[in-house]
Structure 1
Amino acid sequence: MVDEQVRVWADRGSHVRWRSTTAENDGRELDVYVQTRGDRGNPALVLVHGYPTSSYDFHRVVALLEEDHFVCLVDLPGYGLSDKPHTDHRYTIADDARLVDHLVRTTFGLDAFTLVTHDRGDSVGLALLDLVRTEGAPYDVSGLVMLNGNVWLPLAQLTGIQKALLHPVTGPPISRMLPTRVFARGLARRTCTPALDAAETAALEGMLAHQQGMRVQHRLIQYLNERRVHEAAWLASLTAGPVPVTLAWGELDTIAPPAVADFVWSEHLASREAASSYWRIPAANHYPQLDQPDVVSALLRIPPGTDPGKPVAGARLVAENRPGEPS
């Protein structure tokens, strides 16, 4: 039975066809779920979710922003309401970056937008910016807002289930046998503060259950190995690039702890030529967009690289880098 919140969310969007660019996938076509909300004439946001969830992660923030923003969402292949091939498909960050680029050019039809990313989506966003920087694009990424994600794995604190799913021996059988409900309830308790209520947990379970999504978890989480190979280059490209960045981090996160954000700020954002800012959200865990949607939406109303003008309730501005202005 389909959860009612999942059904309502599904009805707000549609599916588009996407041909994978990953060589091992041999041009396989997939149905990818997309959704747009708000007036196209308003400032545009492109939201990219993390592992192992979906665009539904942003539903509370979207409800607060759609009146004065044009919000674009996608369920990456293997996630949410998009296709989830169980065998002979390689899910990659690089392919997802190409997908987002394709959607911006076609389905979303944007000339400029702020990119908002979370968790695995942070790496998709970094790969997209690297792609735009090296190959060019007919659109302008006017800013990047990065929410909690282990973009520097040496400081990550992966959970036991993440490590088990990643492992080549234990990952496949766990993906086959772990009940979706158990996995969803664990996420609801561990990654959100307070823990997600019964209705939100049921929606999370419904998204994971679509096309037997648990069966692809071992394949999906291999993105960590791809991230490990490319993370230094992606962060270096971000440092050298022109896109203003806002780093917004839930302080209660024990998986992608604040130490990750501290590292990204000090090593890659604090002294770059493009403007950057670093915010902490004290009452948020790994999913600040679910824990503190009012705070996240307020931060998203501040274009990256600009003066916030006044304090944001529920958030703390840790540091700013605004080249060309007096310190």
Structure 2
Amino acid sequence: MPSTRVQEWAERGSSVRWRSTTPENAGHADVTVRVQVRGDRDRPALVLVHGYPTSSYDFHRVVSLLEDDHLLCLVDLPGYGLSDKPRGDYRYSILDDARLVDHLVRTTFGLDRFTLVTHDRGDSVGLALLDLVRTEGAPYDVTGLVMLNGNVWLPLAQLTGIQKALLSPVAGPPLSRLLPTRVFARGLARRTCTPALDAEETAAIEGMLAHQDGMRVQHRLIQYLHERRVHEAAWLESLAAGPVPTSVVWGELDTIAPPRVADLVWTEHLQGRQVPSASWRIPTANHYPQLDRPEVVAALLRVPPGTDPGHPVPGARLVGATGPTA
């Protein structure tokens, strides 16, 4: 039986067409991408970019808390959620997704300024987008970046056995064909969220993964880790040298992207900036802080990125803040 939450989420969205900019995808048809725009256009805009292997639904609890005082723009990247999941030799790419987000900001979202909110794989999409904006220019202003848990420096990652198997050129393709969607979803609900997600939320994740038989593309999707490995140093260096105020917000219970990743980003790339920078910890959150502690994440999104609010944020701990407005 389809998840009612997936159906409700789908009803709030719309579809756009996207032609991949990746040369290897030149022979493929356009893909249909699902987006949502919620809230008031007179309010501060947030563009939210999800991670692997889930979808924009990851942010639904935060969206419900912020849509009265923000404009919220969300996308299911190709291969994820309710967007198309092309098979065959289609190449899923972080850089291509960055160009997709740039395209949406210019067209469907129609923004001239916004804060970028990213999670997991979306962190790398966000870093790639900021690098594109910095090197190529854009007709909009990214006023801040808020990064949630993600392995933006792979040497410090702690991949799960399933991730390693899906990544493997030998084990990955058959595992993508044979691993039941329900088993995969239940593993995510138990391993990456604290407390574990309830049956309805787990069913929603399962429904998003099951769209267009999405388990079949998991081996191809997770190859983004190789692309990240090639570019991660340059992306972090570009962030450090760039003008965008940045907050790193991390659930401390994460064992996949452990807090040592946030420590490296803070100490080696953000702490010495003149641009406002901040590092936050959520002690009771796991890999998906936006699901575990949405009220804390929402409160931090109301704080200008990179700044010390000057008062405690319940449920969060400020590790440090630097820059002119720290």
Name the counterpart of 1:100.
101
Q: Which residue in 2 is equivalent to 1:54? A: 55
1:2 CA displacement = 2.2
Task: Tell me which amino acid in the other structure corresponds to 1:14.
Answer: S
Question: Could you say what secondary structure the match of 2:74 adopts?
Answer: strand
Q: Which runs of 5+ in 2 are unaligned?
A: none
Quote the offset at 1:193 in angstroms: 0.1
Q: Is contact 2:307–2:322 with CA below 8 Å preserved after alignment?
A: no
CA distance in 1, matches of 2:135, 2:301: 27
Shift of 1:323: 3.7
- Letter in structure 1 aligned against 2:24: E
Offset of residue 303 of structure 1:
1.1
How far off its partner does 1:305 sit? 3.0
Please give the TM-score of this superposition, normalised by the length of structure 2. Answer: 0.98
1:10-29 to structure 2, matched below 5 A, reads: 10-26=10-26, 28-29=29-30
User: For residue 195 of structure 1, what is the aligned residue in structure 2?
Assistant: 196
Question: 1:142-157 to 2 correspondence within 5 Å?
Answer: 142-157=143-158
- Whether the aligned pair in 2 keeps the contact of 1:150 and 1:260 (CA below 8 Å) is yes
CA distance in 2, matches of 1:269, 1:205: 37
Q: What's the counterpart of residue 141 of structure 2?
A: 140
1:274 CA drift (Å): 1.1
Contact 2:17/2:30 (8 A) holds in 1: yes
Q: Which amino acid aligns with 2:35?
A: V
Match of 1:8 in 2: 8
Q: How does 1:1-327 map to 2 (within 5 A)?
A: 1-26=1-26, 28-323=29-324
Secondary structure, in 3 states, of the residue corresponding to 2:152? coil
Q: What do the CA deviations read for 1:57-79 (whole angstroms, capped 9, x no partner)? A: 00000000000000000000000
1:189 CA drift (Å): 0.2
CA distance in 1, matches of 2:314, 2:103: 36
Contact 1:240 1:273 in 2 (8 A): no
Q: Please tell me the residue identity of whatever aligns with 2:245.
A: P
Secondary structure of the structure 2 residue equivalent to 1:91:
coil
CA contact 1:34–1:72 (8 Å) conserved in 2:
yes
The CA deviation at 1:324 is 7.3
Distance 1:304 1:186 in 2: 32
Structure 1 residue 306: deviation in Å?
Answer: 3.2
Q: Secondary structure at the match of 2:193?
A: coil
Deviations 1:248-292 (A, max 9, x none): 000000000000000010000000221100000000000000000
Corresponding letter in the other structure for 1:186: G
Alignment RMSD: 0.9
Shift of 1:307: 3.4
Check conservation: 1:191, 1:253, Cα contact below 8 A. Answer: yes
Instruction: Write out the 4+ residue segments of structure 1 that deviate beyond 4 Å after TM superposition.
Output: none
SS of the equivalent of 1:319 reads: strand
Q: TM-score, normalised by structure 1?
A: 0.98
Note the residue ranges of structure 1 that are not aligned, 5 or more in a row.
none
SS state at 2:212 partner: coil
Which deviates more from structure 2 when the two are superposed, residues 142-151 or residues 268-277?
Answer: 268-277
* Superimposed CA distance per residue, residues 219-249 of structure 1 (whole angstroms, 9 cap, x where no aligned partner): 0000000000000000000000000000000
Counterpart Cα distance in 2 of 1:136 and 1:101:
11
Conservation of the 8 A alpha-carbon contact between 1:49 and 1:75: yes
Query: 1:69-126 CA distances to partner (integer Å, 9 max, x unpaired)?
Result: 0000000000000000121200000000000000000000000000000000000000
* Percent sequence identity over aligned pairs: 79
Q: Alignment partner of 1:20: what SS? A: coil
Q: What secondary structure does 1:210 align onto? A: helix
Question: Per-residue CA shift, 1:163-199, capped at 9, x if unaligned?
Answer: 0000100000000000000000000000000000000
Q: What's the offset of the Cα at 1:40?
A: 0.8
